[in-house]
């Protein structure tokens, strides 16, 4: 049990990715929470401190506790790449009278502009929780250090709102109805299928995981479980008459309804449960998992243990490029790394840290074939993208983005969509964005 907790804390992995040799991840997680909340860890630390002091094995001037697992590039700590410059990282020592210091490390800090409205009003921002910043590694730093790939963003117009609608509530209802209209769903799926090979570079091959593969794969982020179900059904319908070799291998995963689209465009906390789904959504997900079982000779379903194993198997097949596209609501949009993933299709509202986290699924470095991450947005997120870059970088960060252009889907065979606009020469050096730029904040 304790070794399982240590494995999570040292690796920085998600609890659900805990190796089976340590036991069920939920049990280990519950024990961790219990020991954390009842002070067990503090007591262990206190006794360890006293024992080390009695044995003369501790220097009270430098006694510290590392409060988190950190995965950062050499450049993030000031070391540069391949020894290009001296290590400029700074070591902060605790005062002699202090027992220990806590340090917060965050990739997408919470500022007043992107904070939630609920919870403790004195703990809504990262600065409120940890104090003043010690060090920042921003988007601009990542651009200069060339640690990640550029983004290419395409905004695809899929509907026009009627100017005569003045009432916001009526407009919102009409917008939601329009976004889920069968004609729009059909056109977007047709657009994805038509441009899939181009965006994922299926004409290029390379060796990965011991075999030669063609191109990359993608995620499709939807606004709600209802939308995810409609898109999955439409992919199935449009591919039904195609030979198996020409069909995209499409997966589907979502959890209970609380992980659906937040009205402010931020990504909610992901819950790894299927039990809370309404019966219709759970039945639909079970049917989609049956399709997956038939494709890969597996035997998963939405029961607790098998759903956990389905998630793990799905994530591994994404990383191995065995799936072409996975439809999600919030799952896989934060903390999931697959170097073979180069495209994010977006039909949901995103902003601030949620937007940066979702975009960053596509820009992990793999090889010379993968030159940038593709973002294809079926909603107008241009302002939200610029705002997020300014928030997590500086006022100049948004000018470095590579914009593929704004286009309108007129039909699934639109010629205008087949020839993307060229990027201006002054935007050729696109922003390299990663969700692991470091902000260190000391505990008060």
Q: What are the mean pLDDT values of the chain's consecutive 10-residue runs (444 residues total)?
A: 85 82 87 86 78 67 45 38 38 44 72 74 78 76 76 84 46 73 95 97 95 97 95 98 96 73 56 79 96 97 90 95 96 91 96 90 92 93 89 58 59 34 30 32 32
Closest CA to 291 of 225, 353, 233: 233
Q: Are 268 and 334 in contact (CB under 8 A)?
A: no
Give which of 216, 234, 138, 219 is closest to 180, Cα–Cα.
Answer: 234
pLDDT, one tens digit per residue, over 105-153 is: 777 788 887 777 766 777 778 888 777 878 887 766 776 677 888 889 9
Predicted local confidence at residue 261, as pLDDT: 52
pLDDT at 119: 67
Residue 431 is predicted with a pLDDT of: 31
Question: Cα separation of 397 and 391, whole Å?
Answer: 9
**Which of the four CATH numbers 1.10.3720.10, 3.40.50.300, 2.40.110.10, 3.40.50.80 does domain 151-428 have?**
3.40.50.300
pLDDT at res. 39: 83
Scan for tokens 């949009």, then name that residue: 333
Q: What pLDDT, in 10s, does the model give residues 342-355?
A: 999 999 999 988 99
Say what the pLDDT of residue 173 is. Answer: 55
Question: So where are the chain's domains?
Answer: 1-58, 151-428
- What pLDDT was estimated at residue 256? 67
Among candidate residues 250, 220, 237, 229, the one with its CA nearest the CA of residue 347? 220
* Helix, strand, coil tally for the chain in percent (to 5): 40, 15, 45
The predicted structure's pLDDT at residue 389 = 83
Residue with tokens 């990739």: 107
């Amino acid at each position: 049990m304790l070794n399982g907790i240590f494995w999570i804390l040292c690796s920085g992995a998600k609890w659900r990715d805990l190796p089976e040799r340590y036991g069920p991840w939920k049990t280990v997680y519950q024990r961790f929470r219990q020991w954390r909340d009842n002070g067990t860890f503090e007591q262990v630390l206190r006794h360890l401190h006293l024992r080390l002091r009695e044995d003369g094995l501790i220097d009270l001037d430098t006694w510290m506790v590392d409060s988190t697992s950190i995965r950062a590039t050499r450049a993030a700590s000031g070391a540069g790449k391949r020894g290009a410059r001296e290590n400029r990282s700074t070591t902060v020592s605790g005062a002699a009278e202090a027992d220990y210091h806590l340090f917060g490390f965050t990739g997408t800090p919470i500022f007043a502009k992107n904070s939630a409205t609920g919870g403790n009003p004195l703990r809504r921002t990262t600065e409120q929780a940890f104090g003043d910043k010690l060090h920042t590694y921003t988007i601009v730093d990542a651009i200069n250090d060339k640690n990640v790939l550029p983004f290419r963003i395409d905004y695809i117009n899929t509907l026009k709102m009627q100017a005569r609608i003045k009432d916001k509530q009526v407009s919102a209802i009409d917008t939601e109805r329009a976004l889920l209209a069968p004609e729009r769903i059909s056109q977007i799926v047709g657009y994805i299928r038509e441009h899939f090979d181009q965006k994922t570079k299926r004409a290029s091959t390379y060796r990965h995981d011991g075999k030669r593969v063609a191109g990359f794969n993608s995620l499709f982020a939807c606004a709600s479980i209802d939308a995810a179900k409609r898109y999955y059904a439409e992919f199935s319908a449009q591919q039904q008459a195609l030979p198996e070799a020409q069909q995209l291998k499409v997966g589907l995963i979502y959890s209970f309804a609380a992980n659906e689209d937040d009205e402010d465009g931020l990504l909610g906390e992901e819950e790894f449960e299927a039990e809370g789904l309404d019966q219709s959504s759970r039945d639909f997900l079970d049917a989609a998992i049956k399709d997956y079982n038939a494709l890969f000779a597996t035997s998963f379903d939405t029961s607790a243990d098998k759903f956990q194993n389905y998630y793990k198997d799905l994530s591994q097949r994404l990383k191995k490029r065995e799936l072409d596209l996975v439809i999600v609501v919030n799952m896989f949009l934060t903390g999931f790394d697959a170097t073979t993933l180069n495209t994010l299709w977006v039909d949901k509202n995103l902003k601030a840290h949620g937007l940066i986290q979702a975009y960053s699924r596509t820009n992990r470095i793999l090889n010379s074939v993968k030159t940038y991450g593709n973002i294809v947005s079926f909603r107008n997120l241009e302002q939200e993208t610029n705002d997020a870059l300014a928030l997590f970088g500086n006022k100049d960060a948004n000018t470095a983005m590579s914009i593929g252009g704004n286009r309108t889907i007129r039909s699934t065979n639109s010629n205008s969509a087949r020839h993307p606009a060229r990027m201006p020469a002054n935007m050729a050096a696109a922003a390299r964005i990663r969700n692991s730029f470091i902000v260190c904040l000391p505990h008060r």
